[in-house]
Structure 1
Amino acid sequence: MSNAQDTNNRDVTASSSYDLNNREMLKKQMEQMNLPIIEEFRANGGKVGGPFEGKNILLLETIGAKSHQSRINPIGYMKEGDAFVVIASKGGAHTNPDWYHNVLAHPEVWLEVGTERFKAQATIPEREERDRLFAAFVQQEPGFAEYQKNTTRILPVVILRRI
């Protein structure tokens, strides 16, 4: 059995498994990083300190697109009428966050805002609406403009409405 090779005749089998292992390791690190934020959020009625102090934070619970397991992510939001608007920024990385893929696959989600927990429906706005919401979000949280500058992808906007 031969290993997969790239165009320069290099073995890429180990590299491919390394990439998969690295992705899984990064996912675990993110979960470990999020856990104390989630615990603090729940212990303090939806408030967190540190770099998130005074920010609008919600907990977004999704069903994994591939795993079908529950996933919880703390995410900054902006209110738009009765909806919650979030940005799939991943800090300006070149790939979308996993939670974004999850809401595309399973748009019915759970939100925790303050001490309230409820079901919501995730929708992706059309480009014009996305641009308007993104600009409004940047007015509230200017750092997101920098995230957009750091990547070639258009940062997705997600609208979350109670159902």
Structure 2
Amino acid sequence: MGARRGRRPVRELVQKVSATRAFARVAPRVVPALDRAVHRLTRGKVLLSAQMLPGVILTARGARSGVERRTPLACVPEEAGTWLLVGSNFGRPGHPAWTANLLAHPDASISLRGTDVPVRARLLAGAERAAAWRAAVAFWPPYAGYQARVEREIRLFRIERRPPGVGT
């Protein structure tokens, strides 16, 4: 119990820092590079950023190239065994490339604690998106600040496990 109490102030500090514009300028270059390196060194067992926020490595085919791309991402686990992926791009103006990849090729995979899981992504819209957005913001409040900084609607995907043999 004491260890959990100690994590709460750290998590709150990380939330405050991650909501700043300075973090949005630096994080897209630093966080994914560190995540990829640690993930590779630990053979997929550790994702550095997941020490604060649950995360996965998304492997999706490039929208134009068709080449597989590996992207470390924070995720919001849902009770149904699905996950939300938030295309916040740290509150920067453009949509992150991985969101275009999922729109073009929704069958993908995630590396979750060293296990590759085939998934299918679905862009959320309407009331379903609104409910999922509320859950994402409740889980990680800086998402609200990211949305306030940009004119685009942040893309929100639900990913779920694909049955064996379905998709590529």
TM range (shorter): 0.7 to 0.9
Structural RMSD (CA): 2.0
Which residue pairs with 1:65 in the alignment? 63
Question: What letter is aligned with 1:46?
Answer: V
Specify whether residues 126 and 92 from structure 1 end up closer, same or farther in structure 2 by C-alpha distance, changes over 3 A only: same
Question: By how many angstroms is 1:31 displaced?
Answer: 7.3
Question: By how many angstroms is 1:37 displaced?
Answer: 0.9
In the TM superposition, structure 1's runs of 4+ consecutive aligned residues that sit over 4 Å from their partners are 30-33
Deviations 1:13-64 (A, max 9, x none): xxxxxxxxxxxxxxxxx67862331231341713315xx5321010001100
Decide whether the 8 Å contact of 2:34 with 2:48 is kept in 1.
no
What's the TM-score once normalised by structure 1's chain length? 0.74
Decide whether the 8 Å contact of 1:110 with 1:117 is kept in 2.
yes
Matched, 1:151 2:167: no
Larger Rg: 1
Q: Secondary structure at the match of 1:118?
A: strand
Decide whether the 8 Å contact of 1:46 with 1:57 is kept in 2.
no
Which residue pairs with 2:45 in the alignment? 45
Which residue pairs with 1:139 in the alignment? 138
State the alpha-carbon separation in 2 of the partners of residues 68 and 31 from structure 1: 23
Q: Secondary structure at the match of 2:109?
A: strand
Judging by fraction of residues, say which structure has more helix: 2
Question: What letter is aligned with 2:73?
Answer: I
Q: Which is bigger in relative contact order (C-alpha 8 A, separation at least 6)?
A: 2
Percent identical residues: 21
What's the TM-score once normalised by structure 2's chain length? 0.72
State the alpha-carbon separation in 2 of the partners of residues 77 and 48 from structure 1: 13
